[in-house]
């Protein structure tokens, strides 16, 4: 009877100690998961040529200006990019992060990525980066960096609570175009709009309560100001307007306020077309002239403060309100890089990476 103890020695081993790959096989890193925070963009400086480069890229995007380039580009190159860079540069200069010589949007987005990366320290397979649709660092450069570091799975996280083709859509466009050039394209996921996520609404409400409690006055009205869009975008099927309205309604309900206490306006209109209404500047002038002397404004359509919030709302809208007879004005900051916001971003990433981690 054969000795069972020697049976395994009679079976040839199928595991070879020799690397099965050829000696000249390229070393390709893999096995990592990339998380890419996407924001709209920022100029590199406030000077004329920096602003012209940025605005030229931004306003050439067909998601932003839907006119035929044959009609639009002569206007853009001939008139707008001659006059607008200086004006925009002056606006950016008012809120520029002079210590780091960059816009607040770039500062906040970078720190958000750094803090989110720290929050995932225990997951060594997760790499967090950040990129801009327009300007630097470009989306393409950050995707290339993540792939070079071994990311074969990629989560795109557009930092826009409400979806619009002009924000989330174009940010994803840039990523998709970059990936189209890759022979080994990572598996891809995108974070959906989170405009009605209960955790996001709770986070907004807590931020509003905290900031209002720090004021030395009680506002008569609080405005939620969202970046505007041409009305025709809504009629073509863009869900942005409806999602903004729902965010505001859920926030109002969470705060337990009546409808006239928290109202919706839209800012930043450009050109002759009708945009989403009511317009922020017209509304604050109307409120001041009708007796509202104390006003607070927040912007829950932005994950980070930027020129549209800090300059347009915090400075320009304040001036409009005071010129119309208003007395006390406060701009309530975005969630930015607060610990509570980073915790929420981590929660969203963990949810969207389900099955990958």
In the chain, domain spans: 32-194+339-352, 198-332
Report, as an integer, the average pLDDT of 222-249: 97
Instruction: Reply yes or no on whether the pLDDT at 15 is more than 50.
Output: no
pTM of the model: 0.90
Note the pLDDT of residue 7. Answer: 42
Note the pLDDT of residue 28. Answer: 74
Give residue-wise pLDDT tens across range 260-317. Answer: 999 999 999 888 889 999 999 999 999 999 999 999 999 999 999 999 999 999 999 9
CA distance 38 to 324: 38
Note the pLDDT of residue 311. Answer: 98
CA distance 211 to 195: 21
Q: What letter would DSSP give residue 314?
A: I
CA-closest candidate to residue 84, choices 270, 357, 257, 350: 270
Note the pLDDT of residue 19. Answer: 57
Give residue-wise pLDDT tens across range 148-177. Answer: 999 999 999 999 999 999 999 999 999 999
Q: Give the angle 159-164-167 at the CA atoms, nearest 5°.
A: 50
Query: Any idea which architecture 198-332 has in CATH?
Result: 3-Layer(aba) Sandwich (3.40)
Give residue-wise pLDDT tens across range 73-94. Answer: 999 999 999 999 999 999 999 9
Instruction: Reply yes or no on whether the pLDDT at 21 is more than 90.
Output: no
Note the pLDDT of residue 29. Answer: 80
CA distance 229 to 186: 33
pLDDT band, very low/low/confident/very high, at 2 (cuts 50, 70, 90):
very low
CA-closest candidate to residue 173, choices 73, 305, 64, 275: 64
pLDDT band, very low/low/confident/very high, at 10 (cuts 50, 70, 90):
very low
CA-closest candidate to residue 305, choices 94, 23, 20: 94
Do the first three CATH levels of 32-194+339-352 and 198-332 match, i.e. the same topology?
yes
Domain topology for 32-194+339-352? Rossmann fold (3.40.50)
Give residue-wise pLDDT tens across range 317-341. Answer: 999 999 999 999 999 999 999 999 9
CA-closest candidate to residue 143, choices 188, 102, 194: 188
Note the pLDDT of residue 20. Answer: 67
pLDDT band, very low/low/confident/very high, at 18 (cuts 50, 70, 90):
low
Note the pLDDT of residue 309. Answer: 98
Q: What is the mean pLDDT of the chain?
A: 93
């Amino acid at each position: 009877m054969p000795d069972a103890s020697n049976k395994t020695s009679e079976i040839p081993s199928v595991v070879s100690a020799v690397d099965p790959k050829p000696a000249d096989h390229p070393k390709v890193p893999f096995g990592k998961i990339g998380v890419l925070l996407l924001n709209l963009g920022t100029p590199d400086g406030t000077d004329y040529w920096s602003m012209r480069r940025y605005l030229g890229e931004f306003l050439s995007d067909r998601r932003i200006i839907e006119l035929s380039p044959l009609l639009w580009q002569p206007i853009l190159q001939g008139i707008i990019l001659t006059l607008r860079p200086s004006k925009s540069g002056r606006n950016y200069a008012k809120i520029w992060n002079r210590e780091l010589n960059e816009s607040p949007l770039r500062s906040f987005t970078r720190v958000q990525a750094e803090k989110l990366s720290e929050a995932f320290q225990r997951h060594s397979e997760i790499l967090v980066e950040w990129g801009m649709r327009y300007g630097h660092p470009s989306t393409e450069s950050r995707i290339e960096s993540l792939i070079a570091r071994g990311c074969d799975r990629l989560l795109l996280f557009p930092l826009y609570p409400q979806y619009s083709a002009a924000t989330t859509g174009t940010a994803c466009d840039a990523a998709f175009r970059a990936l189209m050039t890759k022979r080994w394209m990572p598996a891809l996921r995108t974070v959906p709009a989170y405009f009605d996520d209960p955790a996001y609404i709770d986070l907004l409400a807590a931020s509003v309560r905290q900031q209002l409690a720090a004021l030395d006055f009680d506002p008569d009205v609080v405005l939620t100001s969202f970046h505007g869009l041409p009305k025709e975008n809504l009629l073509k099927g863009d869900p942005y307007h409806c999602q903004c309205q729902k965010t505001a309604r859920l926030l109002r309900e969470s705060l337990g306020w009546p409808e006239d206490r928290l109202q919706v306006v839209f800012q930043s209109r450009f050109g002759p077309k009708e945009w989403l209404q009511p317009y922020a500047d017209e509304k604050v002038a109307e409120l001041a002239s009708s007796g509202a002397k104390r006003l607070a404004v927040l912007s829950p359509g932005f994950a980070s403060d930027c020129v549209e919030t800090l300059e347009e709302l915090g400075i320009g809208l304040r001036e409009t309100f005071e010129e119309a007879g208003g007395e006390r004005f406060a701009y309530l900051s975005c969630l930015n890089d607060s610990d509570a916001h980073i915790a929420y971003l981590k929660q969203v990433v963990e949810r969207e990476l389900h099955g990958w981690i």
